Structure 1
Amino acid sequence: MGVGKSTVGEILAERLGVDCRDTDQDVARTAGKAISEIFLDDGEDSFRELERAAVRTALAEHRGVLALGGGAVLSEETRGLLAGQPVVYLEMGVHEAVKRVGLDAPRPLLVINPRQQWRKLMDERRPLYTEVARMVISTEDLTPEEVAEAILDALELKKA
């Protein structure tokens, strides 16, 4: 959360001359409401089902940069679909998360004790992120443009 997936995805797509697609936006569009509302009205299981479908569709249809929601890797199906793809895990610590998100923003999974919840989520998810990622890029103290450059360097996709 707040690591810059969408922002970096847009910059990366622009530099590569392709489109960027965000599966969180796909889920919200499909549901006709914000993700926080899906969590509140329908529950996390319903959201995760919509998320799995959005990722499956996007991977089948989209040929540009794809930004996935932070919990997408919780699905074994999704992790299987990501196998062999040039997945980049954007990483940051809790102190950076506090600076970026404030951990008081309307994030459904961080309602009670945000710092502790963030750490718990990251402890659960980090092994899954690293399982599917071809590379890990720390976003600490980097601008979104610098993160995009680091990704291009790591994937050896810089245009000469």
Structure 2
Amino acid sequence: EPYFRAVEKRAVHQALAEHDGVLALGGGAILDPDTRALLAGRPVVYLSMDVEEATRRTGLNVARPLLAVNPRKQWRELMDARRHLYEEVARAVVATDVRTPEEVAQAVLDVLELKEA
């Protein structure tokens, strides 16, 4: 995991410097304090979901090292440890439970428009 996080950090920093569009970060990218500092003041939206939605989307049975043993419990623990970091940098939170990608995208646009108004 440390090697993966180092590669992830470089990729996120490069993308933030060079890309003007939407970036979808992996769930652990927020763990890096430098990355959080780079996200500060940007239109970051935290896409939230509950464990049932995570299960529906991933099945929690795919090869994810951090979810290898007791995936529901591990997911809850990861979220408990990370949620405050997501909320720290997010300008808004959008619940994604039982929404289509199109509905989530529209909700993100709507909440960002309201925050800028």
Short-chain TM bin: over 0.9
TM-score between both structures, scaled by the size of structure 2: 0.95
In the alignment, structure 1 residue 126 sits paired with structure 2 residue 83: yes
TM-score between both structures, scaled by the size of structure 1: 0.70
Q: Equivalent residue for 1:103?
A: 60
Aligned partner of 1:128: which letter?
L
In the alignment, structure 1 residue 66 sits paired with structure 2 residue 37: no
Q: Distance in 2 between matches of 1:58 and 1:96?
A: 28
In structure 1, runs of 5+ residues without a counterpart are 1-43
Where 1:137 maps in the other structure, the secondary structure is: strand
In structure 2, runs of 5+ residues without a counterpart are none
- Runs of at least 4 residues of structure 1 off by over 2 A? none
- Residue 89 of structure 1 deviates from its aligned partner by 0.3
Q: Select 1:144's aligned residue among 101, 107, 110.
A: 101
Q: CA RMSD in A?
A: 1.0
% identity of equivalent residues: 65
Where 2:20 maps in the other structure, the secondary structure is: coil
Q: Equivalent residue for 2:3?
A: 46
Alignment length (residue pairs): 114
